[in-house]
Amino acid sequence: MLVPNHFLVFGNEGDDGLWLDYLVSASPHGIDQHEIDAYAEVYKIVLAGSLTLQTDVNSRAAALLARAKFEMLAGRLYAPHDARVELYDRLDIQDFR
């Protein structure tokens, strides 16, 4: 599963909910270019119909990108497969370098 590095936010669904006069904002590229090159562009579309101003839609797109940046993992672990490990098991990792 790839972490999105580009967010498209749609706002202003209208009173009737038909999205006839919608607003759109694409998040700025805030993730490092080498990460984008490694995974290509991974888009996530977000519907925020209650936002009626372009500045609010732009802010939501930038906030989603900032949150995705800070939720990325700080490191990687390569380990042999162990079928006994389950989803929420706590692992003890020891670095013997």
Residue-wise pLDDT for 61-71, tens only, equals: 999 988 887 77
Q: Mind listing the pLDDT tens digit for each residue in 70-80?
A: 776 656 667 78
Q: Domain residues for 94?
A: 1-97
What is the percentage of the chain residues whose pLDDT exceeds 70? 76
- Between CA 58 and CA 11 the distance in angstroms is 10
Averaged pLDDT for residues 47-68: 92
| Residue 47: band (very low, low, confident or very high) from pLDDT cuts 50, 70, 90 | very high
Separation of CA 77 from chain center: 22
The count of domains in the chain is 1
Token couple for 20: 């006839």
Averaged pLDDT for residues 20-41: 74
